[in-house]
Amino acid sequence: MTDFDHDLFVIGAGSGGVRAARIAAGHGANVAVAEEFRVGGTCVIRGCVPKKLLVYGAHFAEDLVDARRFGWTLEGKAFDWATLRDNVLAEVDRLNGIYLNTLENHKVTVYPERAVFLDPHTLDVGGKRVTAKHILIATGAQPLVPTLPGAEHGITSNEVFHLEALPKRLIIAGGGYIANEFAGVFHELGVEVTLINRGDTILRGWEPALRDRLLTISMTKGLNFKFNCAMDHVEKTGDGVRLHVKDGDPIDADLLLWAVGRRPNVEGLGLAAAGVELDDRGAIRVDADSATNVPHIHAVGDVTDRIQLTPIAIREGHAFADSVFGGKPWRVDYNAVPSAVFSNPPLGSVGLTEAQARNNLGSVKIFTSDFRPMRNVLAGRNERALYKLVVDEATDKVVGAHMIGPDAPEILQAVAIAIKAGLTKAQFDDTVALHPTMSEELVLMK
Ligand code: NDP
């Protein structure tokens, strides 16, 4: 018997929270979850999933153009944003239902409320006092809105999935994952897109050759970029917004999308009442077991700002539940985490960039394949793919793979297995090519 209402109380039913709740319940724990918005979290409700569906929807624009070169005649071709939007949102509803069922099937109590710490073991959950032996904070992150006058006239990725109509002109502020993904989507849907960034490049931290390739292709497609652009204020105009910048002419558009990063959801949780500390970036400070400075309170996912990726939050939640409730302690390995940008074309990356490898390992060998995918050749589409392998000269191990081109994220996932397994370049070369594919380039780089 326990003196607490629950063995585990999870705050936030996103990727990390739901996985932790399900696994802990499977280990026999009495679990409750509080979610003030919708079960599923950012990824399912207003992130990865609806974004990827929009990426698919938008890509038909180019596919239908290319189809002509493959013999297809397409008459009466038209696009209806409301159809795509509503179908995507219906799929989000379906997944939300699946997540709810998962929790119910595991006998997890779901409170559709905000939970606020009253003390280290007690939460106020929609006006009710609930106690728990262990508490997991899995509240995720939210889009950052810059502190500029008029910033409220812009929207964020939370709202972008619900647009009444497509804008004619869109400004996207930021140059990271979200900015480049939505730039691709909206451009393909016929929107005039201008991406403005404070720095001199997109996708900081990514392999420079890939960033340059995406930039070149995007500019050729007709996207506008403004770099080293300091924003000053936003003005509401009759039919849209005007973004004033420090050096240069203001930019007019129908819509402004903030994509300047995400900040951990730590406000209004009563963390002070629980004694939980933050780190200097405002995220919850945790150790390698996801424990906060209060030993029975853990935190996983974006609220800890380790790596802001869904599969990482899921693993952190799973490791926590197995370790604390399953008697099977393990830790998340943050090495060789693959990631992708679903831009047009998309990028995938795992392991070290060339610069990181040179700094960490000394001598490295670089292999690249710069090619026009067969499909693009017949389509008359002058877009080249670029694959790059980074090899540790001392061990011959492939320590990094970076790709831009059609389906790069799909291919990259498989390469990530090889890199995680520590395979050598000789072992890559020893693998027979699968012809004709794009991925065969990975075993043909000399
Ligand atoms: P990113 O961190 O990827 O990019 C933020 C961008 O905004 C950078 O270009 C940054 O510039 C710029 N920026 C940051 N602060 C300011 C500011 N105050 N004013 C102006 N510009 C600013 O953030 P995103 O919002 O795109 O995505 C957040 C995270 O979510 C990603 O890091 C990723 O982990 C995750 N994500 C993953 C996806 C995927 O896996 N496909 C998709 C979407 C999100 P600078 O480079 O100069 O810092």
Encoded tokens for 189: 């849907």
| Reported confidence tier of residue 1, pLDDT bands at 50, 70, 90 | very low
Of 224, 217, 221, 216, the residue nearest 252 (C-alpha) = 224
Residues annotated as catalytic are 435
Residue 308 beta carbon below 6 angstroms from any ligand 1 atom: yes
| Reported confidence tier of residue 431, pLDDT bands at 50, 70, 90 | very high
Residue 140 beta carbon below 6 angstroms from any ligand 1 atom: no
d(CA 100, CA 110): 8
Is the pLDDT assigned to residue 145 strictly greater than 70?
Answer: yes
Q: Ligand 1 mean position to 261 CA, how many Å? A: 4
Asked if the peptide bond before residue 250 counts as cis, ω within 30 degrees of 0, the response is no
Q: How many CB atoms lie within 10 A of CB 189?
A: 19
Question: Could you give the dihedral angle defined by the CA atoms of residues 36, 42, 45 and 47, in that order, rounded to the nearest 10 degrees?
Answer: 160
Residue 197 beta carbon below 6 angstroms from any ligand 1 atom: yes
d(CA 167, CA 157): 15
Of 339, 167, 155, the residue nearest 260 (C-alpha) = 155
d(CA 365, CA 29): 50
Of how many residues is the chain composed? 446
Domain boundaries, the chain: 6-142+263-325, 151-260, 339-443
Q: How many CB atoms lie within 10 A of CB 113?
A: 16
d(CA 364, CA 358): 6
| Span 19-69, pLDDT tens digits | 999 999 999 999 999 999 999 999 999 999 999 999 999 999 999 999 999
Q: Ligand 1 mean position to 394 CA, how many Å? A: 35
Q: Do domains 6-142+263-325 and 339-443 have the same CATH topology?
A: no
The CATH architecture one would assign to domain 151-260 is: 3-Layer(bba) Sandwich (3.50)
Q: Ligand 1 mean position to 281 CA, how many Å? A: 15
Which superfamily is assigned to 6-142+263-325 in CATH? FAD/NAD(P)-binding domain (3.50.50.60)
Residue range 339-443 forms a domain whose CATH class is alpha beta
Q: How many CB atoms lie within 10 A of CB 271?
A: 20
Closest residue to atom 1 of ligand 1, CA basis: 176
| Beta strands per DSSP E along 344-433 | 347-351, 364-371, 385-392, 398-404
| Span 341-353, pLDDT tens digits | 999 999 999 999 9
Query: In this predicted structure, what is the pLDDT of residue 2?
Result: 64
Mutate to test the pocket of ligand 1, among 172, 177, 202, 306 (most ligand atoms within 8 A of CB): 177
Contact 107, 29 (CB under 8 A): no
Residues 6+ apart with CB under 8 A from 97: none
Q: Is the pTM above the cut of 0.85?
A: yes
| Span 199-235, pLDDT tens digits | 999 999 999 999 999 999 999 999 999 999 999 999 9
Contact 369, 209 (CB under 8 A): no
d(CA 420, CA 258): 35
Of 51, 88, 325, 368, the residue nearest 209 (C-alpha) = 368
